[in-house]
Structure 1
Amino acid sequence: MLRQTPNGRRCELKREWKDAVPDGGVSGGVAAVFSNREAVRPEIADSWERSLRSVDPSRGCAPTHTECAADLWNASPLRRPIDELADDLQQIADAGFVVGVTDEWGTLLWICGGRVMRRRAERVNFAPGARWSESAVGTNALALALHNRRPTAVFSSEHLVDTLHDWVCYSSPIRSPHGKTLGALDFSTTCKLANPLAMATVRAMAALVETRVRELQPASIARDSVAKVALRCLSRTEVTVDDAPVQVSPRQAEILALLTLRPDGYTPAELSLALYGDRPVSMSTLKSEVSRLRRMMGGGIAAHRYMLTAPVGCDAVEVLRRLSAGDTVAAAKQYRGPLLPHSEAPGVVDWRHRLEVAIREAALQSNDPDVAMILGERIDDDLELHEHALNLLGPNDSRTPLVAGRLSVSRRNMA
C-alpha cells in the first residue's frame, strides 16, 4: 500500500467504514467486499465483525459499567506501579494525550490528561468506571490490546463507533509475571496530533509497569500469607485491619461474614436476599453498604460479583476448615459460640445453624470426651451433648462431677 498522508488515510478509512457499516447502523456483519481491501487491516475487519453483534456504531459514548471505579483501582495490582510512574505519564499527557488504564475486562479505572483533552475524552465517556471492551463500545485500541494480547493502534474510522473517528489510540496489555493480563495502558489523542512514536512509548511504559508489578509481587505474596483483615464473628464481633481494631456496623459484619463463608461470592440479588430477605430494600442501599466495607478494608471486594479478592481471616471459616481436616478438638476450641448471635439476616441465620449442627454432630460422633466437654461450655442446655460427655468419661475422671453438674442444670432448665 502506498504511503498516504494522515488525512488521505482518514478519508479512505471512512469510505471503507461506510461500506462495511451501511448507513452507520447495525448490520448483520461486515460487508464481504471492500472497495479497497488493503485499506482495512484484517484485525480491524475481524473486530468490526465481532462488534456489530452487540454495538450500535451510532452510539454516542462508552457505557458506564460501575460506580465503584475508585475502590476497584485501590484494589488493583496496577495501582502502585502507575502511582510511581504518574509523573512520567503526566508528561506524556501534557504533549496532547489522555492516558488511561483499564482492568483485564476493559473497565477504565484511572486516567490523566490536560484539561482540554480530558474534556474531549469525557464527551465519549473515556472516564473511570466506563467499559471500553469490544462488546461494549466496539473496535478500539484498548479492546484489541486485551483481546489479542498485544500492543495495538486504532486510527480514526478503524473505530467502529462513529463518534470515535476523530481519535487515534495506542494501547498495550499489561501482564503479570505469570502471563495473566492485568489490564491495558492507553494513550489517546486526536487524529491531528497522531504521532508514530506513541506506539513505541506505550510499549515501553507498559513494560515498565510490568517490571514494577514483578518487583512488588514478592512483598505482596509475603503480606498475603497472613491476612491483613481478620473477622471474629463467633459469639462476638471484632474486625481488625493490619492488627488494629476497626469499627464496623452490624450490617458490614454480616456482609463480611457471608463473603468469607462463601468464597465464590454472591450476585447482587443473592446478597440482597441473604441480608434483607423479602424486605423491599433498594439495590443502591446494598451497593453503599458494600462500598463502605470495601473502603474500610482498603479494597478486597470485587464489584461485579460480590466476592473477596484478598484473604480475610475468619474464626467461623477456621472452624469449618478444622472440621474438614478431621481435627475436631481444634474445631471445638475455635468455636466460641453462635455466628453473629444478634443478627437476623436470613443468610447469617442459615450459616449459624449450619455451623452449630456441624460442630455438634462432630462432637457427638467423636470418642474424645474433650470435644464434648469443650463444646458443652458453649452450647447451652444441650442434654445430649452433656450425656455424651459423661458416658465418655470414666467414673474416676476428675472432670466427671463438672459434666454431671452441667447435665443437672440443663435438665432443670428444660423441665
Structure 2
Amino acid sequence: MSQRSDLRRRRATLEDEWSRAVSLVKSTGSAPSSYQALRHEVAESWVRSLPSVDPARDSAPVTDGGAIQHRWTDSLLRRPVSALSDELRSIADDAGFVTAVTDESGTIMWTCAGQDMRRRAERVNFAPGGRWDEQAMGTNALSLALRTGRPSTVFSAEHVVNALHGWVCYCAPIHGPDGHVLGVLDLSTTWDRSHPLAMSTVRGLVSAIEAGLRSESPRPSRTDLPRLRLSCMGEEKAVREGVTLPLRPRQLEILTLLALEPDGFSPERLREALYGDRPVTASTFKAEISHLRRALGGGVATRRYALTAPVSCDAVDVLRALESGDADTALRLYRGPLLPRSEAPGIEEWRTRLEVAVREAVLASTRPEHALRYGERAPYDAEVHEHALRLLDRADARRAIPAGRLTTALRD
C-alpha cells in the first residue's frame, strides 16, 4: 500500500511539472530551461522534445507493416529474440507487460503481450511499425536508451506525450558483437505496476540476447540460401532441388503464410487464417502441419509455428522489390494473384494486400511499360489502361493496346 501511495505522489508531482512545461511552450514557443522534479536526462529530453513534438498526439507514427516484417526477417536480432520468445511471452503474460524489440532507429519490429495489454499498446501504436524515436514521440524510455546507449526507465508523466502518462517503461540497448547498438529491448506496463526489479529483468534478457548474437555462426550468403523455392503468385508449387514437392493445397497455404510472416503464428491465429469460422477439429489442423513438416523434412517450429529453414518465395520477393522501389522486378514476379484458388482468410487478406501494393506502384509509375504489363493481368481495370494512355505519346503505336483494353473494360 505504501508503494502505491508513493507512486501516486510521484505521478502527481510529475503531472504538475508537465503541465507547467506544456503551458510555457504554448505561450512562448520554448520549453523551460530548468525543472524541479525531473531527472537530468529526462529534463534534457523534454527541452529537445517539447518545441517539436505535440504533447496531445494520441499515438506513434507508423512505418509500413510489410516493410517491418521483412526488416525483422533480415535483422540480426530475430534469431536470438526468437530463442527467448517463450520466456519473453511468459513475462508478458504473467507480469502484465508488453515486451518489444526495436531496430537502431527506434522503430518497433516485434512485440508480445497478453490480450489486455496488447489492446492498450495498440491504441498508441506500441506495435510493429510504430516509431518511438525522440523526434517522433518525444521523451520515452526507448528513445532515451538509444540516445544515451544506457538502460533507461521513464515513468508516467515523464513522457512528453500525454497519452503515455498511464505507462512505465524499462529499456536497455542491445549491442552487437562489434559494440554497435542494434536496437533496444523494452518492457512496458501500467504506471501502478512499476517495480524496481523490472530493470534487472530487462538487463538479464538483453545479456542473453547479446550472448546469442556472439555465439551465432556467420550468416550464409545468398548463394547458399535456400534450397526450397515457393511459387504462389499465379501458380501453386514448391520446388526443392528441381523436384516439385507433393503438397496439398492446404499445406501450400500454410507454407505461404509462414513465408510471408516470418515471425510465425500462434496455433489459434494460424488456424483462424486457414479456416476462419469453419468448424475444424484440432486434430485435422495439426495433421496438416505434420504433413507439411514431413514433406519439408522438418523446417517448421512447434508451439509457435514458424519456418526454421530458409525458403525463397516469389510473393516475398515482390514485396521486397516494391519496398526498394524496383517496380520492374515486382511486375516481373507478379504473375497473378496469390494462390488464386485459395479461400483461406489469411491468404485472401495477403492476396488483397499484394494486389493493392502492385497496382498502386503501377499507378505511381511514370513508365508506360509498367501499366502495359500490369494491364495484361488486369484486363478490366479501366484506371490502369487510362494511366497507360496518359503516359504514351500520341504517336506511339502501343496506344492501341490499352485503348482496346479500355474499350473492353468499359463495355463490361
Q: Which residue of 2 aligns with 1:16?
A: 17
Q: Which residue of 2 aligns with 1:327?
A: none
Q: Distance in 2 between matches of 1:31 and 1:137?
A: 19
Spell out, residue by residue over 1:61-109, the C-alpha distance to the aligned partner (whole angstroms, 9 max, x if none). 1111222222222221111111111111112112111111111111111
Structure 1-normalised TM-score? Answer: 0.55
Instruction: Sort the Cα spacing of 1:116 and 1:225 in 2 relative to 1 into closer, same or farther, 3 A.
Output: closer
Displacement of 1:228 after TM fit? 2.4
Secondary structure of the 1:186 match is strand
Q: Distance in 2 between matches of 1:86 and 1:252?
A: 29
Work out whether residues 51 and 135 of structure 1, in 8 Å CA contact, stay in contact via their aligned partners in 2: yes
Q: Which residue of 1 aligns with 2:47?
A: 49
Work out whether residues 172 and 186 of structure 2, in 8 Å CA contact, stay in contact via their aligned partners in 1: yes
Structure 2-normalised TM-score? Answer: 0.55
Instruction: Sort the Cα spacing of 1:123 and 1:248 in 2 relative to 1 into closer, same or farther, 3 A.
Output: closer
Secondary structure of the 1:30 match is coil
Q: Which residue of 2 aligns with 1:288?
A: 357
Displacement of 1:53 after TM fit? 3.9
Secondary structure of the 1:154 match is strand
Instruction: Sort the Cα spacing of 1:57 and 1:81 in 2 relative to 1 into closer, same or farther, 3 A.
Output: same
**Runs of 4+ that moved beyond 6 A:** 240-247, 273-276, 284-287
Q: Distance in 2 between matches of 1:168 and 1:248?
A: 42
Secondary structure of the 1:122 match is helix
Displacement of 1:131 after TM fit? 0.9
Match of 1:224 among 191, 209, 221: 221
Spell out, residue by residue over 1:260-318, the C-alpha distance to the aligned partner (whole angstroms, 9 max, x if none). xxxxx95x4xx459989xxxxxxx8798359xxxxxxxxxxxxxxxxxxxxxxxxxxxx
Identity of aligned residues (%): 43
AA aligned opposite 2:19 = K
Listed as ranges, the gaps of 5+ residues in structure 1 are: 231-239, 260-264, 277-283, 291-342, 347-415
Q: Distance in 1 between matches of 2:30 and 2:239?
A: 52
Secondary structure of the 2:182 match is strand
Work out whether residues 65 and 129 of structure 2, in 8 Å CA contact, stay in contact via their aligned partners in 1: yes
Listed as ranges, the gaps of 5+ residues in structure 2 are: 228-237, 244-311, 332-352, 360-367, 372-412
**1:149 counterpart = 2:185:** no
Displacement of 1:180 after TM fit? 1.6
Q: Which residue of 2 aligns with 1:294?
A: none
AA aligned opposite 1:228 = L
AA aligned opposite 2:54 = D
Work out whether residues 24 and 57 of structure 1, in 8 Å CA contact, stay in contact via their aligned partners in 2: no
Q: Distance in 1 between matches of 2:239 and 2:210?
A: 28
Displacement of 1:115 after TM fit? 1.1
AA aligned opposite 2:71 = L
Q: Distance in 2 between matches of 1:289 and 1:229?
A: 25
Q: Distance in 2 between matches of 1:49 and 1:109?
A: 28
Displacement of 1:125 after TM fit? 1.3
Instruction: Sort the Cα spacing of 1:21 and 1:247 in 2 relative to 1 into closer, same or farther, 3 A.
Output: closer
Work out whether residues 102 and 185 of structure 2, in 8 Å CA contact, stay in contact via their aligned partners in 1: yes
Displacement of 1:54 after TM fit? 2.9
Work out whether residues 66 and 130 of structure 1, in 8 Å CA contact, stay in contact via their aligned partners in 2: no
Work out whether residues 24 and 162 of structure 1, in 8 Å CA contact, stay in contact via their aligned partners in 2: no
Q: Distance in 1 between matches of 2:38 and 2:218?
A: 46
Secondary structure of the 1:174 match is strand
Q: Which residue of 2 aligns with 1:105?
A: 105
Displacement of 1:132 after TM fit? 1.1
Displacement of 1:14 after TM fit? 1.1
Work out whether residues 109 and 129 of structure 1, in 8 Å CA contact, stay in contact via their aligned partners in 2: yes
Instruction: Sort the Cα spacing of 1:157 and 1:24 in 2 relative to 1 into closer, same or farther, 3 A.
Output: farther
Secondary structure of the 2:212 match is helix
Instruction: Sort the Cα spacing of 1:21 and 1:207 in 2 relative to 1 into closer, same or farther, 3 A.
Output: same
Write out aligned runs for 1:247-258 (5 A). 248=314, 252=318
Work out whether residues 24 and 32 of structure 2, in 8 Å CA contact, stay in contact via their aligned partners in 1: no
Q: Which residue of 1 aligns with 2:268?
A: none
Work out whether residues 24 and 30 of structure 2, in 8 Å CA contact, stay in contact via their aligned partners in 1: no
Q: Distance in 1 between matches of 2:25 and 2:242?
A: 58
Displacement of 1:5 after TM fit? 1.3
Work out whether residues 168 and 188 of structure 2, in 8 Å CA contact, stay in contact via their aligned partners in 1: yes
Q: Which residue of 1 aligns with 2:72?
A: 73
Instruction: Sort the Cα spacing of 1:148 and 1:243 in 2 relative to 1 into closer, same or farther, 3 A.
Output: farther
**1:87 counterpart = 2:156:** no
Q: Distance in 2 between matches of 1:120 and 1:207?
A: 28
Displacement of 1:227 after TM fit? 4.8
Displacement of 1:204 after TM fit? 0.9
Write out aligned runs for 1:15-414 (5 A). 15-22=16-23, 25=26, 28-34=29-35, 36=36, 39-68=37-66, 69-93=68-92, 94-216=94-216, 218-220=217-219, 223-224=220-221, 226-228=223-225, 248=314, 252=318, 268=325, 271=326, 288-289=357-358
AA aligned opposite 1:47 = S
Secondary structure of the 2:65 match is coil
Secondary structure of the 1:54 match is coil
Secondary structure of the 2:102 match is strand
Displacement of 1:58 after TM fit? 0.6
Displacement of 1:219 after TM fit? 3.6
AA aligned opposite 2:182 = L
AA aligned opposite 2:357 = S
